[in-house]
Amino acid sequence: MRTIGRTGIITLSILGALVLLGGSCVLTYNKLVRLDQAAKAQWAQVENTYQRRADLVPNLVETVKGAAAHERETLTAVTAARSRVGQIARPEDVTTDPEAFKKYQQAQEELGGALSRLLVVAEAYPTLTATQGFRDLQAQLEGTENRITVERMRYNETARAFDTARASFPTSIVAGLFGSRFAEKQYFAAKAGSDEPPKVKF
């Protein structure tokens, strides 16, 4: 029976180490892919809820227009904000582009603010707020705003899980090897000034 020499043992040890290292890299890569896909899926949910809101806007504007035709400035602001949201050119994955993500979030916040002003204006018209159509649209819009908040929170959680794994050792080495394939995800942040309590005046 032939025995393995010292050179053979060293060769087998090196091969074994390479197999273990390769297996570890594959597992780490697959983990990053899984977390990346989870973040992308959650981002799609955020976009779905934003799209639902955008789809409600024309109906809401038309309903208010009939009862509050002279509130042109508010109606125009809502329509313009909705249009800007649709015109933003987004890269393939906006979640990894800080500048594009910031523009996207600003446009969505602008639309949300315009819708809030529209609802405040609409509340001043009792005949409008008494109609079932307006109440239904208002309820759908409020529900959509709640969904947006939930989906943004869930997206932030999946993005944080991805970014944490990506920055952890030794995963950071594998992520670094693939460059932009595993770029850091962006987070939704609170609007500036939202940390200050609202001033109530009587």
Domains and their CATH numbers in the chain: 12-182 (1.20.1440.20)
Residues in the chain: 202
Residue 189: helix, strand or coil by DSSP? coil
Reading phi first (left if > 0) and then psi (alpha if -120 to 50, else beta), residue 200 is in: beta
73 pLDDT exceeds 80?
A: yes
Find where tokens 């060293």 sit: 10
Residue 96 CA to residue 92 CA, distance in Å, equals 9
Residue 36 CA to residue 42 CA, distance in Å, equals 10
Using N-to-C axis directions, what is the helix angle for 6-67 and 98-123, rounded to 10°? 30
Separation in Å, CA 84 to CA 7, 107, 142, 196: 69, 7, 21, 28
Percent of the chain with pLDDT over 90: 42
The H-assigned helical ranges of the chain are 6-67, 72-87, 98-123, 126-129, 132-167, 171-177
Contact 29, 163 (CB under 8 A): no
Residue 5 CA to residue 130 CA, distance in Å, equals 93
Tokens of 75: 């109606």
Per the prediction, the chain carries an average pLDDT of: 85
Find the range with the poorest average confidence among 33-37, 59-63, 64-68, 178-182. 64-68
Please give the average per-residue pLDDT across 102-111, as a whole number. 92
Q: What is the pLDDT of residues 6-46, one digit of tens each?
A: 787 788 778 777 787 777 888 999 999 999 999 999 999 99
113 pLDDT exceeds 50?
A: yes
Contact 134, 121 (CB under 8 A): no
pTM given for the model: 0.79
Contact 21, 13 (CB under 8 A): no
Q: Report pLDDT for 69.
A: 66
